[in-house]
Structure 1
Amino acid sequence: MIPVKSTEEQRASYTQAIVKKWNSATQDQVRRGRMWYPTAHEFAEQIAAGNTVKGAGVLAALSANKSWGENCRLARKAFIEGKASGHVSDAISKANRIMSGTDPAEVLPMHIKTGSFYVCIAEPGNTETVVIDRHAHDVAVGEIYGQRERGLGALGRYNTLADCYRHAAHQIGESPSVVQAVTWVAHIERR
């Protein structure tokens, strides 16, 4: 696990690893990464019959430890059936509360991954929010952790990596969410 309080040297290393992953992305991966959140936004709108906020909230609530394909399947199924299923009880409860009309910002932990994922889907043009999930972590540390604990529930660790993505985005000239999405695509499609 990376330290909760990283040194400037460690932060620079994480930032450089993010930039390196960006630079390794193919043109097609960059194109798809740039469209990732706008496409997710359209999907959220579609599954929630035009209520993008609700669709984004349910997608975020059901996202933990699920592939994007499985996440989409569970969210679509929840709207079709009128209730969430297929996940741990906490995620199901949050998704059901959102489907019942509670503002996702009142249900989701807005200071870590799930809340950030909601914001990036609901507002794909957001220029500050960045999602730090297991893949974003592994890109930044330059190592695939597999099933090992990453400790992203610790706010200091999460914010350190989010700041590194913001610094990398500044160097690249893109928004943090685009940098995260492009590096995510490049990371999951690595050879």
Structure 2
Amino acid sequence: MPEREKPQRNVKAVRGADGLLRCPWPGAEPLYVAYHDEEWGAPEYDDRALFEKLVLDGFQAGLSWITILRKRPAFRTAFDGFKPEKIVRWNAAKKEALMLDAGIVRNRAKIEATVALARIYLDLAEKEGFARHLWSFVDGRPIQNARRSLADMPAETEVSRAIAKDLRARGGNFVGPTIIYAFMQATGMVNDHLVDCCRHDACRALARDFGP
């Protein structure tokens, strides 16, 4: 789930004002609820969308996801639409401009990590493809979990450790196993909606075979 702190881990699905049961972490924040209902846990197979999410998960390190979510439009503008072919050409002037942009999270190490990840993306694009490479760690199909409360939610798994190791070996940074597991949850590589949540079965139905 998005929040690193994971408060009240025994909390189960909660009923919203609209009568629907949801995972408890979005609370009543409209932006967060929309993200939970429309994006989180839905299998994402698009290369660029996965790249954006992985970059933003790296920027979340030490922060809450709602902070990043609120800044996402500004990130998309500042980061050239998350186009890796543009990001790899960022020069010193561009990086300094980003450090002055109050609309994003200003962190030099994370900006450099974005450039490194763009290089990884382009390298994989010449081979099997960014999305296909990442999805290969789960054999091309979402892992369907049946978690009943936040207490059942791990911070990392064997698969997230394997992906983290792979990306680090390719020169990645801010791609540790905890960040990678949050990325896997968000992009539907694992279905971690609680079983009572209205989105659990919906995300299960969206799963398809990505292919080896």
Fold conserved (TM > 0.5)? no
User: How does the TM-score come out when normalised to structure 2?
Assistant: 0.36
Greater CA radius of gyration, 1 or 2?
Answer: 2
Structure number with higher helix proportion: 1
